[in-house]
Amino acid sequence: MNKQIILCVEANRRAQTDNIYIKETITNFYKLDNKTRLSFVNMNGKTNYRSRDVLSQIARYTKDYKIGNTSVIYCIDLDNYESDPVQVKLNEEIKSYINDKGYEIIWFCRDIEEVYLGHSVGKSEKLSKAAEFKKRELIQGISTKSLNLTRESKGKSNILMVLDRYLERR
């Protein structure tokens, strides 16, 4: 059956750093065929999760895909979820919005770089670190256990648990 997966990521369109880590994960752990389309919506920060631009891109991708089902998955960093009440409130608002829409959520504790590189990086390093991750095929060294959690934990994610519902593992 044909399907489209729309992945809404925090990165901006120019850098697309989150896209790199997620594509590497999908390529390494899942079988992809020509019946599955992956589409990325770059939100330019998670606070834009319901901006007009993000919502119109989701609508456009959904409308243009006429040969199967479309699923929307938001991919967000939880940031300082354990100590910052502002982040906790924002994360809860985003989760509530996603649930209300019937979408899915992939979370990264605290951020995507901490999950894949073992530490956070500054904005000026994000692109070079993501490119190095891909070039050196560092996804090979990532434990499936750290990508398959049901509970939020530092340096971990639920990405495999969510993607398992849509894609077939290798």
Q: Domain-by-domain residue ranges, the chain? A: 3-169
Cis peptide, bond prior to residue 110, ω within 30 of zero: yes
Give me the chain's average pLDDT, please. Answer: 96
Q: How confident is the model at residue 130 (pLDDT cuts 50, 70, 90)?
A: very high
Q: Which residue has the higher pLDDT, 136 or 1?
A: 136
pLDDT tens digits for range 49-106: 999 999 999 999 999 999 999 999 999 999 988 889 999 999 999 999 999 999 999 9
Element (H, E) at 105: strand 104-108
Six-digit token pair at 151? 């509970």
φ/ψ (deg, to 5) at 69: -85, 150
Q: Amino acid identity, residue 165?
A: R
Nearest Cα residue to 161 out of 105, 119, 81? 105
Nearest Cα residue to 1 out of 40, 29, 34, 30? 34
